[in-house]
Amino acid sequence: MALDLFLQMADPWNWGRGVAVRWLIVFFFLAVLALLAVGVALLWRRGAPGTGSNDRGDDALEALRLRYARGEMTREEFLQSNEDLGGSAQPPIPPPPEGQTTPD
């Protein structure tokens, strides 16, 4: 009786019985933690969508804006390309006609 009480106090998780099952539980728990860590690492590496830091579509839209700003394309071409690339619905302000200045 005293020996059983001592063994229970010395081994609170009762590792002496069913050790294989308990090790499988520990292994499963560690495997789940490893999978979560890999998932978080992949998401971290990929970057959150829409942040602009790793958003490849944003690079294309920026190049499109630069081409429009340099006058390499018309407003209609820009709007169509912007829509095709999934850009914002708000078109930029068109440049003033040649020889005309903007009011300050």
Predicted TM-score (pTM) of the model is 0.34
Is the pLDDT assigned to residue 61 strictly greater than 90?
no
Q: Which residue has the tokens 């440049």?
A: 95
Tell me which of 7 and 31 has the higher pLDDT. Answer: 31
- Residues contacting 13, CB < 8 A, separation 6+: 22
Distance CA 55, CA 64 (A): 15
Residue (of 59, 54, 50, 56) closest to 42 by Cα position: 54
Tell me what pLDDT residue 43 has. Answer: 86
